[in-house]
A and B are shown apart, each in its own frame.
Chain A
């Protein structure tokens, strides 16, 4: 019952990472801790909210590839790798959400990757002995 509130709080910390303290790492860990809380309360055999391992691997690869793709887009538009202002990304008014070019996109990519890493770590260490593939 507390899981939607935890996920909403984590999403808020990720998206407002450039206006108030927070950022990608803390927000990703909070989103992962909501799923870990569910597994701690109801046991590992309940299949409703578990991320299967193939889905977690796909999300994690998407996070890493998104980071490199944003950096390479800087090269395509004519400046150095991972550059913000000189490559023409639109800067908004500081103080709103969509200000600051590549910073919001990079923070979301970091959040996705950290959340999927924590879930994969927890699920692999905490399985029982009779459930090996």
Chain B
């Protein structure tokens, strides 16, 4: 009984996902709608404005440094929650 329910759920989700894969744009095409002018701006202006060579490091610390601050908050909250549970 439980196995039949699992198989039916998986087949339904699998059919949905196969339909999505057929509609996605081609892998690695330079004219994807993903590559818009934001990444062009990041690739062109990193040398002058930030002065480093690694574009990904400049994005996560300089252009979007506020998201990395939220990241550190997530780590801190995980530690606080774990210590509160394990040492009660």
Contacts and interface: CB of A to CB of B under 8 A. Distances in A.
Interface of A: 17-23, 60, 63-64, 67-68, 71, 81-82, 84-85, 91-92, 94-95, 99-103, 106-107, 110, 113-114, 117, 120-121, 124-125, 132-133
Contacts of A18: 52-54, 57-58
B66 interface: yes
Contacts of A67: 68-69, 72
Nearest to B69: A67
B52 A100 contact: yes
A21 B54 contact: yes
Contact of B78 (A19, A82, A117): A117
Interface of B: 47, 49-54, 56-58, 60-62, 65-66, 68-69, 72, 75-76, 78-79, 82-83, 86-87
Given A18-B53, A85-B49, A133-B87, A60 B79 contact: yes
7 contacts: A18-B58, A67-B72, A71-B69, A82-B66, A102-B62, A107-B57, A124-B86
